Amino acid sequence: MPAIFQSALHPAGPQAASISHLWWLMFWTCSAVYVIVIAALLVAISRRRMDTRPSDGTLRTSVVTAAGITVVILFGLLFASVATGRAVASLGAAEALVIDITGHQWWWDVTYENPTPSLQVKTANELHIPVGRQIRIQLKSSDVIHSFWVPNLHGKMDLIPGRQNLLWLQADKPGVYRGQCAEYCGVQHANMALTVVAESSDDFERWIMAQRQPAPPPSTPEQQHGLQIVERGPCAMCHNVTGTVAGGRTAPDLTHVATRSTIAAGTAPNTRGYLAGWIADPQHMKPGAKMPSTGLSAEELQAVLAYLETLR
């Protein structure tokens, strides 16, 4: 997997491209204005005072010219900004891929909508999208205001409790892009990230077919013991593992947790070591997170880890 990188100046989709064009236009315009103003100032400082006061006419012409140029530039930027706004809002295909994203303190709940409920896919903190297809993202929140921002693909859009916001985006280049909550939402706001994987339609179809499968049954005795702890211990109260008794809905879906690249909403890479540290003491890695310490013994923890690794 390539390094995850996040930058509004390296657009990977049409909307991010419009936004970055506008950014560069404003940057170069303002740079030019700045250089000209500073140059004029330097000239004024270095020149000797004139012996005679310039006539009122000359003064008026200079002021009117400068004000005129300023107005023209500001209107130019205004039109560019409006044009960018229109370009960014131009998507809206009927055959778009519909994804529901619900913000929670402090993770992203992702549901791939499908008219057939059994074909819906639930995952968390990781979004897979096919390149070149329009994506309709429906944003909701379960607690406070969050904001969805994947700088390489689009601008920000808030997730507001009690209503649904819409965001259309499209990725043109395959890649892995990092997203981040962009509205302060509590102590772990900084650790509320998500990963967007843009891939070819074939890869995407393969991924979503795999995600639709229930969790594979555990094979070794240790993994079976792990499943037992997940189903009969504290995990199942909040987490869902499709195909088992664990059916909680208040925490990230773990059915295919081993396929994700990060844990705890981008807080740490998804390796056995980090996962062990996270389960053993979540409040150490992400103080304030809603996952409590579960008090598993070392042997139980190893069993749970062995089982979670099979959830591919």
Q: Which residues bind other proteins (CB under 8 A)?
A: 142-143, 161, 187, 232-234, 236-238, 250, 283, 287-290, 292-295
- The residues near 312 (Cβ < 8 Å, ≥ 6 apart) are 210, 216, 256, 258, 259
Query: Minimum Å distance from CB 245 to other proteins?
Result: 12
Query: Minimum Å distance from CB 154 to other proteins?
Result: 28
CA–CA gap between residue 95 and residue 11 (Å, rounded): 24
Query: Minimum Å distance from CB 46 to other proteins?
Result: 58
The nearer residue to other proteins, 76 or 186, going by C-beta atoms, is 186
126 forms beta bridges with 195
The nearer residue to other proteins, 29 or 294, going by C-beta atoms, is 294
Spatial CA neighbour of 252 closest among 143, 130, 135, 111: 111
The nearer residue to other proteins, 235 or 308, going by C-beta atoms, is 235
Query: Minimum Å distance from CB 2 to other proteins?
Result: 35
Q: What are phi and psi of 121, to 5 degrees?
A: -125, 135
Q: What are the E-state strand segments in the chain?
A: 97-104, 107-112, 121-124, 126-130, 135-141, 146-149, 157-159, 165-169, 175-181, 193-199, 262-263, 268-269
The nearer residue to other proteins, 100 or 143, going by C-beta atoms, is 143
Query: Minimum Å distance from CB 213 to other proteins?
Result: 27
**How distant, in Å, are the alpha carbons of 11, 34, 135, 252, 287 from that of 175?**
11, 37, 16, 24, 31
CA–CA gap between residue 235 and residue 140 (Å, rounded): 25
193 forms beta bridges with 180
Query: Minimum Å distance from CB 108 to other proteins?
Result: 18
Please give the torsion angle defined by the CA atoms of residues 171, 174, 180 and 182, in that order, rounded to the nearest 10 degrees: -20
The nearer residue to other proteins, 106 or 177, going by C-beta atoms, is 106
The nearer residue to other proteins, 161 or 214, going by C-beta atoms, is 161
Q: Which residue type, as a one-letter code, is found at position 139?
A: L
